Amino acid sequence: MAARAAAALTPALSVVVLCYRAGESARDCVAGIRAALLAAGIVDHQLVLVGNYFPDRGDTTPQVVRALAAEDPRVLCSAVPKQGMMGWDMRTGLALATGECVAIVDGDGQVLVEDLIRVYRKLREEDLELAMTCRTRRGDGLRRKMLSFGFNGLVHLLFPGIRARDVNAKPKILTRAALERLTLRSDDWFIDAEVMIQARRHGLRVGEVETRFLGLTGRRSFVSIGAVVEFAWNLARYRLREPLRRGRP
C-alpha cells in the first residue's frame, strides 16, 4: 500500500540511493538524506532505495530497504536478484523514480549529504538540466585518485566538449525532461560516463559544485582491474558509434 501511494506522487525531487551491499548502514544513509532534505525545506521528496542482490551471498540489504520502504510512504525500493552491476541497479532505480527532478547518489557513505542540497539548488537557481559534484579533494587513496584521473582524461580525449571535470562524480541531478532524453543501456560501471556522453550529445545545460570525497569505511572499493578494463572497452565501443560533433553550445 505504501509503495503504491508513493509511486502515484509526482514529488519535486526523487533521490535514487544505490545501496548495494550496504546492509544495516543503509538506515544511517537514509536518515541522513531525509534529515538534510527536511532541514533544507524540501518536504516534497521521494527516496528510491536500490538494494538489488546476488542470491546466496548473505546480503541483508534487501531486507533493510524493504523495511525502510514499509515504514514511510515517501520511500520506494528495488530489492530483486541482480541481472547486472551498478548500471543495472541505477536503471532499476530510475525506472521507479517519479519526481520532477531525479538525483542519483551512492549509499556507501563517501558522498557528503549536504552536497545533495547544494547540487539541487544549483540546478534550480541556474536553470540547468543536469547538475553534479566535482571531487576536488579525495580521501580514497592514491590508487583511486590515479584511476579517476585516467578515466576522466580518457573520456575528455575521446569525447571533447563534455561539460564535467569529474565524470563519475555524484550526486548527479537531472530534470525529468533531461532524463527522458537519455537512452541508458549500461549494466556496469560505465553508466556515469554514458550519462555524460549523452548529455554532451543533446547539449544539456550542465553545472558542477566542487566537493570533498570521503574515504571508504567498513569495506574495500568495488572498483577492480576488471572494472577498469570493462570501462576502457565500453569507451572504445561508444566512441565508434557516437557522433564526433557535440550538441548545442
User: What pLDDT digit, counting tens, does each position of 93-114 carry?
Assistant: 999 999 999 999 998 777 788 9
The pLDDT value given to residue 76: 97
Mean per-residue pLDDT, 42-50: 97
| pTM of the full structure | 0.88
* Region of poorest pLDDT, from 63-77, 103-117, 121-135, 214-228: 214-228
Q: Is the pLDDT of residue 220 over 70?
A: no
Q: How many CB atoms lie within 10 A of CB 53?
A: 21
Mean per-residue pLDDT, 236-244: 83
Match 532505480 to its residue by C-alpha cell. 93
The pLDDT value given to residue 142: 67
Number of residues that make up the chain: 249
CA 195 to chain CA centroid, nearest Å: 10
The pLDDT value given to residue 224: 59
CA–CA dist 54, 65 (Å, integer): 15
Average pLDDT, the chain: 88
pLDDT band at 232 (very low <50, low <70, confident <90, very high): confident
pLDDT tens string 126-148: 999 999 999 887 656 666 677 77
Domain 2-241: state its class: alpha beta
Mean per-residue pLDDT, 192-203: 96
Handedness of CA 22, 27, 28, 34 (dihedral sign): positive
Domain ranges of the chain: 2-241
The pLDDT value given to residue 107: 86
Match 535514487 to its residue by C-alpha cell. 16
Q: Is the pLDDT of residue 1 over 50?
A: no
CA–CA dist 78, 66 (Å, integer): 8
The pLDDT value given to residue 111: 78
Q: What is the DSSP string of 189-207?
A: TTHHHHHHHHHHHHT--EE
